[in-house]
Amino acid sequence: MYFFVGLFASIIGAIAGLGGGVIIKPALDFLGDYDVATIGVLSAATVFAMACVSLLKATRSGIKVKGKVSFILAAGSIIGGVFGKIIFNYLIASVRDQELITGIQAGILAFLMFIIFLFVRNIEDIKTYHLKNKIVILIAGFGLGMLASFLGIGGGPLNVAVLAFAFSMSAKESAINSIFIIFFSQLASLVITACTTGFANIDLTILGFMLVGGVAGGFIGATLSVKLSNIRIGKIFNFTLVGILLLNVYNLIRSLL
C-alpha cells in the first residue's frame, strides 16, 4: 500500500511538478497509521528521492531549469523551509491533540488547492509577469519554502502556480523548475529534522518501500513528462488538484468529528 502511494504520487509529481508530497501527505493522513511528525519525514524523504531521479532524468533529456530565477527561489525556499520546520516542531511540542494539527494542515491545504485550481482554470485571463528583482524572488522562495515545510508537502502546486504567475513559465517549464526547488526545500527539511528532533522517535519501518516507489515514480514520471504536451500536463495538474482538494476536505471534517 505505501509503496503504491509513493509510486503514484511520484509519477504525478514528476509529470506535473507537484513533487508528490502534496499527494502523500493527505493520503497518509487518510490511512491514519502514523502521527504527523512521522508523516512529515516519510513525505519529505520520498519526495526528495523522486526529485533526485527526476532532475537526473531531465538533465539527460536536455531539459534545463531556468538559471538564476530557480536558484534564487531555491535559496529562499531553503531559508523558508528552516522557519517552517521550526514552527511545525513548536506546534508538535505545544499541542497534544495530533488530530487538531492534522486538521489545521488539511484546512490550509484545502484552501490553497482551491485558490490554485481557480488560478490555473482562469490563467488565460490573468496577467502574468517576468519578475527580475532578486529580493522579491528571494522573498517568494522564502514563502514557498516555509509553507511547504510546515505542511509537509514539498510545495509542488504552490511552486507551479507562482512560477506560472510571476515568471510566465509554461506547464513543462513550471514542472521541472518546481522539482528543482523541491529538491532543495526537502533536503533542508530533512537536515533540519536530523539536527533538531532527530529520527529516533520516528517510525521509519515503511520508509524503504516508499523510497523505492519514489525513485521508480520519479523515473517513470520524468520519462512521461518529456513525451506529454503542455496541454496534457495542465490537465493532469488540474485533475490532481481536485482530488487533493477533496481528500483534504475529508481529512479536515474527520479531524473535527
Cα angle 53-50-142, degrees, rounded to a multiple of 5: 110
pLDDT tens, position by position, 167-195: 888 877 887 888 888 888 788 778 888 88
The stretch 212-219 carries a mean pLDDT of: 88
Flag whether pLDDT at 63 surpasses 70: no
- Give 190's DSSP letter: H
Res. 100 pLDDT band, cuts 50 70 90: confident
For residue 127, the model assigns a pLDDT of: 86
For residue 157, the model assigns a pLDDT of: 81
The stretch 136-156 carries a mean pLDDT of: 83
Flag whether pLDDT at 21 surpasses 80: no
Rounded Cα distance, 2 and 9, in Å: 10
pTM across the whole model? 0.81
Rounded Cα distance, 197 and 142, in Å: 22
* 62 Ramachandran zone, left/alpha/beta (phi>0; psi -120 to 50): left
Flag whether pLDDT at 19 surpasses 70: no
Flag whether pLDDT at 62 surpasses 80: no
- Distance between first and last Cα of the chain: 26
For residue 237, what is its C-alpha cell?
495538474
